[in-house]
Every structure is written in structure tokens, then in C-alpha cells.
Structure 1
């Protein structure tokens, strides 16, 4: 009797063992992979999964442990398998009957992700939706309702402009700077639950029925099809001497003759901050590539401000005597790469050009002394400075009608 008891217990434990413990998954896993591939729009193999596991079970009925609302099931014990598949940071719980006639996606859950964009990437739109509220598809947009929160996933329906949907879950952050929300669409054929993108590259696809104070207004991308309806949104500044738009399209910086630098939220028109830099006019403005800093030239010096706190850092060029100031006329930041922060020493460079044709370069993270101290680049005013997008060159343009490219020659010999 005891021998039969232990044999039965061992059999039960073996049925519950995950894939990592057993040598080979049953062939029914291929049915789950095929269904997953249909949902994400590509062929999926075990090699594409970051993790997977399985167990064999006897389910109490034909729902395989995942009953769906409005469905009826044969009330007979059904042998089947549970497959836990993790693909692109999303975990899928599949159930497949032993005879392969039933394939059920029980649930899919995304692991927590950060929606912070890497420097140089298109930023995620600022989130305006919350779980439990209703949202509306914006005008001139047909929204794709997808089976999973990825751009290439199976499209369940096209939701017309103006349609109101229920926000059930989210957000999930997908490759390509898309933030998805799980929504319920009451289509003419019944309710459909899927994932809809909130927006992309500053353009919103879904909007809350009522915006709360401070939330960015819904904008539509300008195209050849809608440009005829162009209208003024708002006006900022009346005596601007310079302006610059942040790379993430969030802020507009304006400088005026009194030396005041004002930062505006481009979505709402509200003022981010306004600071008096000097009493001299602000003649030039520039943002870092991650949009976290804005710099202005006033009175011949460069003043860099943190856009969130307004904290300044001043950079001034001096003659060889160490006391006589040099008047700067142009500036540029080197591009930041993924994972880099402006305050890390040796990462972000700030270049300044003077009215007499010389160039200075500082390490923004360690601004004790210029790395390049007044190299003569042009005969006359430097009118423009620019770093190459990949950070490999500095381009200077002068009033002498010349453009010069500066860089580090590649080392000779092989690599790798």
C-alpha cells in the first residue's frame, strides 16, 4: 500500500515539474508558439524566448482553467498542458489540450519597464491616461487595437476617430517609443479588449475625455493632408532676440533684450521658468541632446540652466592673462549617447566661438578649465558651431565665408 502511495505522489510531483527540470517539452508547445507568432506578427521558436516552462495537468473541464466570459464548456476532465513563455519582456500563460484541439491564451503580463528614451531617440509622449477612466480616439486618427502591446502585434480592430473607450490596464512601453494601454472597445459586433498606443513623436492618438490642469493639449501631426487647416495655437514672447526648441519638443526657450531667458512648455504654453541671466541681450540659445539643459549667451559668456530646477552654470572665455574676458558669439553641445548624463565628467562637451574667430571647449561635467583654450579657427566672427550627430566632428562657420571640420584622425593599424 505504501509503495503505491509513494509511486502516486512521485507521479504527481513529476507532472508539476517545470521545463527546466524535465529534459524535453511536449510537442503541444509548438501550438502555443504558433499562436504567439500570429499575435506578434512573426514566427516564434523556443530560441526566441528569454524564459519558458511547462507542466502537465488534469483540468476539471474543457476551459483548461481559463474560462472566458460568455462561453460554455464541456464539464469533463481534460488532460492538457500549461506553457509559460516569456517573449520581449512579456510573459504568456498558454493552455493546450493533450489532443491539440484546444489552444487558450490564459493571460499575458508585461514586466515593469521604464519609459525613458535614450538620448537621440524619439521621446515617449507624456502620459495623460489612467486606469479606470474613459478615453477618446482623437480626430483624424483611426486607432489600431492590437492583441499585444507591440507595434507588430495582430490588429483586432480599427477604432474610428471620436470613439470613446474604457482604459483597463497599462501602460506598457514598447520598442519604438510607443506607450500602450489596454482598452475596451464597444464595437458594432460586441466588446473587444486589446491594446492601443497613446501617441507617438509628440502626436496623441488617445486623449482623456477631460484634461486636468497642466496636461499637454492634444496635437495632430502636420501633414500635406491637413496643413490647409493650420491655425495659431498661442503666442509667447514679444521682444525675442533668440529662440531654441528642445530636441524632445517639450520646451521652447526665448531670450530677450533685457537678458531674461524664459522657458515655455510647448504643449500648454505655460511658463516653465524665467530667469534674468544678465542685463545684456541673449544672443543665442541651445539645448543638450537629452533636453535636460538649455544654454544662453549673454554679455559674451555662456550660462547653462537645468530645465527642471533652473540651476545655472557659467562658462566664460578669458585671454591668456587669465582676467580679460573674451566675447563669445556662438556655442554648441556635443551629443549624449544612451545612458550618459550631462554631469558625468568627460561625457558632455560645450564649445564656444568668439567674435574674433577663436574656439573654446569645456568639459561640462568638470568645468574647471577649458580643454581647448582659444584656438584660432577663423578670421573674424564665428557665426555657428555644430557637433556631428555621432560626436566625431566639430564644425565651425565663420564670417570669413569658410566652414572648417575638426576631429581626431583615426589611428592606424587593425582593430579587433
Structure 2
């Protein structure tokens, strides 16, 4: 299946560009999906009342529009369709709609069995224990004729598979109450069954300590559970590492000289370089630039040269205009290198720091093509004295969009990338590692010698390059899934992928050394922010209250094949993760939960109609440093977006622990 993209859709759809994508900005096809979902849930569902929404537009070769749950009819000439993900009361619904709106259906096994106008709103009870109903159901036909052939058996284990969570119910039926959502990768114990009902084969399981019923799969061949009878495909298996944190000690950073350690956008507008002091405080070095825009992030990409002496940054000049500027550590007047940089891709440097490389959309393919947009990669001297040279091209596809009524999502997506998946454009000895589409799910390698781009993984996202530039770590994830994935290692010489069996669900990843990888975890606690059940907050679009999240950091030791949790705390999500090359610390930007925003709404300090910038200010992240030698966590600064750490500034640092 080939990607298809609309240039204007790619630009306008990202929440990086506008704080909230309003109903008038959404494709009209989403209204058909919302109308159908409303009839199936038995209540009106609109863009203003749902938690969040996202979409991807693709070209398909049949009427299934990429959904494995329906029987496809070939369309030789191709058909353009939308895949919508609608989040209602914490539950995600997948819909497919053709652009001409003649095809509409939910790609959801339960909804496909739920006729429109049947008011069967899913409910997740607050109580942790739900009584199971007796094992009743239809007798399974001989050889399970007309059903998906079962592969499980009682007293065995099974793994949840697929791109989306599976529902755990209190009875073996679609009418059973949903008591939990179980993410892909979770292993469950099969304790009973099978029971056949509603054209499904049901098994009684224990999943994450809760007992219930799960469907094994849906016709024609979509399995939700896989037997654990063979050697796991996720290897090497990482075992939880039990560690005792060292006693707190004094950590002193001996500065490497004339190189600033950090550049960041203060409160989203002022680009500043900093030194990090021995007491973990920031010492302002140079105010590089101050950007004035009406809304949204103004400074979109900050990148240091490998030698640490040049800083490139992209500025949003207008709705569709993005310019590339360059300055040096002496605080020289920034020079403009290009005014046609293709955002949301990033910029990078040559390995010897003499050139900046950046993406530009080809004017020949600004209109729609079946494959997508042609991105030309240019190089230009850091002196700005010479013109640019074409180094290669690749196809960038996938129209995207989405929205959320919660300002915490806006800030998290600004800092981490759309839906938490940052796009990549980074030079390595093997070539430029780049994203292949706007979803962030898809990675390729552009050979600067041949100009050829080779796909590494169509579902590889959140990648980080190893310190030597010869390997990648990333997360394999479905286009639309936001909370499911497997950590993958990639050898850039062979492009071979190897999965890692992390013990928790990865969010962001960072490579620290040849054998150490860090990743963050983002988990809803099941609680809501105190006071968020008020009518005022409900009127702001958070009908079920504002969810509370917990964040954690894990360390993977590739040599010892261990996975250890090294920090846990309250926060909406870790939006940036950086491991200092000298091993002195792990830096992370933490977006707070919605407590302060809820308090301000209830106090009348702000309203939901207040300017988005005022509401988003409650969620600006705090930059922390986890001292790896001691386990201590220190606050570096508040309100820093898009922090860019200067690798070269840490190379000569020394670490002394008392």
C-alpha cells in the first residue's frame, strides 16, 4: 500500500501548528464516523465532547481501507480513505471512511457486532473487582465451523497481540460489561473456556491480576490472542533488575570550557543558550532570538553541530512559512539560510560540522501524488556564503490530523512530537535517518552517496541514534496506536532489526552508551484530578474528569539483559529524554498533570474560552536531571520547550562523586 499525502493537510493538521484543531478544520468525513458512533453508543458524540481524535489518510487497493476485520472488494484503480481514531471516555474507536463518503464502517470487532441505534455504551466500573457471570453461551459447533479456529487451551498462557488493546469483559458475550483494556504484549493466563457466543470464541483469563473473558479473535483471520507455546519472538528477553540506589553524593560537573550545554525556548518564544552550573542551575549565556507569533510554538527545531559551535533553528514565520537560521556560540547575528524548510521534518549537520542539511518539499510534487511528497535534501555551508547543493531525495507521505480539548495534550505533543512521536532527520556515517510520513511511524535511511532512500521499518517510531552513529533504538508501533509498542534495535550497516523484551510499555527512548538505553513510561493511574468532576471542568470538554498520569524511567543494560526502573513520579508525560554522553545524568522534560489548570478553572481565574496560550502555560514542562551516580533528581528549570543538549559540551566533562 502506497502512502498518499496532501501538502496542505500535512501542514495544517499538526497540533504543533495550532493549539486546537476545531471542527471546521477537520475533514468532513469525520462527521460521518461520529454520527455512526453516536447511534451505536446511544448518545450524541461530537468533536467538542470526545477526549481526542486523530486521522491518517491513505490510498488503498480495496474497500476494506486497511481494516483486517472486514471482507475486502478489490478496487484496481485505488481508493483514498481515512482512518479515524476517536477517543470517547478513555476508549478508542477505529473508523474507516472513504473520501467520497460512500464507504463507512467501524474497524472494531465489538462495534461491528453492535447494530446502530443499539445503546450499548461501554462502561468501565470504578470498583476494581467485577463479579463474573456464570459461564453461559452457545454450544460451540463441531470443529468450530463458522468461527475463527481457536488456538488456545485452558491452563496455558496467551499474549495479547495486534495494534490495539483487547477488551476484558465480565461474561463471554459482547453484552458483557467491559472491566478493563489489556494492551498488546501483555501475557494472560487462560483459566477456562472455550465459550462460543456472538460469533466469537471466548476464553476466561486472568489479565494483570483481574479475571474476565476475552475474545480470541474475529473473522476472517484477525487474532487478538496468541498461544505462548513457542519461543517468544521478542528477544533478548530482559529481566527486571532489582537495584539498591547508591547513597546520595555530591556530583560536580566540571564545565568543558567555551561550549554551552543547552539551548531552549524560554516560555515558547525566546531562544537562549545556557550553561548548567555545579548546583544544577541554568546560567544564561546568550539570548539568540526572540520570536513573536500569535499562537502555537514559534521555535520548532533546535540542533547543535557535532563540534558544538553552531546552533541551527527553524522559525515559524507564518501559517505555511518556515525559515532556517544559524548562529554560533559567540552570539553572532543569526544568518538566514533558507525560507522554504519543510516542517515537520528537522534539520541536521554534516559530520564535520561544516554544512547544514535540511529538507525542502519539491515544487513539482506540492500537489497530490499517489506516493506522497518528494522531499529534496540540500546542504549549505555554515558560513552562509555559498548556495545550496542537492544531496538526495525521498518520498514523504501520509496526511495526518487530530485534536484534543485538553491543553495538556497540546504541550505534550508540541514538545514530544505529534501524538508523542517525534519525527527524525539525523545524519549518521551511514546516511540520514529520516521519518517516512507525518505520523512518525515509519523510518528510512537516505544514502548521501547514492541519493537512495531505503526503508528500515514502516512501523518504527521514536528513534534515537547511538553515540557512535551506527545503530538506532526505536519503538515499533502501529500508525494510530499511542500506547503500544516494542523497543527495537537497528544495525545501520545491515538494517537488521532486533526486538527487545522491555518489562514496561515504552514511550520515549534515549541511547546513552553502546550498552545502555533508557526509556520512559507513561501510565494512567485510573484516578482523576481532584475537582475535575465539577460542572465547570465538564463544560470545558472533560466530561469524565481529567485523568491522572504517572511517569517512570527505565534503564536497559544490553550486556546484562536487564531492565530496571530507576525513577517514578507524578506527571502527564515525559516529553523529552536525553542521556549525557559523559554518563553524568539523564535529563527529561516532564509535563505536569492538570491539577493547576483544574484549580484555575474552578476558581474562575481562567475559563475554557480563555486564550489557549494562557491555558497551555499551566502545562509547560519542567526540566529535571536524574544523577545516574546517586539516583538524585534535581530541577534544572521550568517552562523550557524544545530543549537541545549540546553533545560536544559534555564530551570533556568530568564527574566527581563524593
TM-score normalised according to structure 2 size: 0.19
TM-score normalised according to structure 1 size: 0.28
Greater relative contact order, per chain length (Cα 8 Å cut-off, separation 6+): 2
